Amino acid sequence: MTLLIGAAALSAALTSSAPPRVLDVRWKLGGPPGRDEYAAGHIPGAVYVDLDTELAGHGLPTDGRHPLPAVDDFRDAVRRWGLDDGDDVVVYDDASGTSAARAWWLLRHAGFESVRLLDGGLAAWRAAGGAIETEPTIPEPGTATVEWGAMPTIDADAAAAFPESGVLLDARAGERFRGEVEPVDPRAGHIPGAVSAPTTDNLAGDGTLLTADALADRFAALGVTRDAPVAVYCGSGVTAAHEILALEEAGFVAALYPGSFSAWSNDDDRPVATGA
């Protein structure tokens, strides 16, 4: 299964007889929302997707900042984006895919088989001379069916036990893993037994994903093998999706802990470790 598409390939695909559906998933932790950036210029035909309201649900603090949306809510969002069953979908952002991967993961989880990330994001598109438009795309409603379960997940209890038999990767920045800083969550540190694996280390200098071989070497150095399960968490389940994509590119299947550290650190009964 192809996970990535380059800017030149996307440009050609958009002029074909069966162009892919394109979703703009610009988002930044703490805001502002990406809708203003979308309005200022986006890939022609792209539909704006709001991560906070369409790619996440809402619940208790112990559910995390971005719990998975209810399946019916996500179905309604997917149809608003104009998607039908079997559509070829491309997602992008302006953060090297680290927010757009949330849409990639959810669409895969919902049963869409052809979902690709624009490698290098909007920066790569601009660098390749891709066209930009400002008129918003409002598609005809789609008819897609949505059913959760195509991607593996774990809950907090499984995350606690995971390091005993597998590798639990923490996709946040190293200083947050070590507990040196914590800008948003109530406690600093990491889930005991987890391994620090910042998502940004999956990227080359130009913001594109490292090659499959380079990613395989990276994850092998972190203890990931073919013989043990692997799971990933981050702050709220967003950038962890990008790490899961990188793992899949390297040939591994990884589970997501959707609540991630925002859920874990809001539960006083869960221990938190600090340091490297």
Residue that is written with structure tokens 């950036």 in the block: 37
**Residues belonging to the active site:** 234
DSSP-based three-state secondary structure for 249:
helix
The residues near 170 (Cβ < 8 Å, ≥ 6 apart) are 177, 190, 191, 194, 195, 196, 197, 232, 233, 234, 261
Which amino acid does the sequence have at 31? Answer: G
In terms of DSSP bridges, do strands 167-170 and 115-118 run parallel, antiparallel, or are they unpaired? unpaired
Q: Decide: residue 257, CB within 10 A, 0-12 exposed, 13-18 middle, 19+ buried.
A: buried
Residue that is written with structure tokens 């203890």 in the block: 223
Tell me the C-alpha distance between 33 and 27, whole Å: 6
Tell me the C-alpha distance between 63 and 229, whole Å: 24
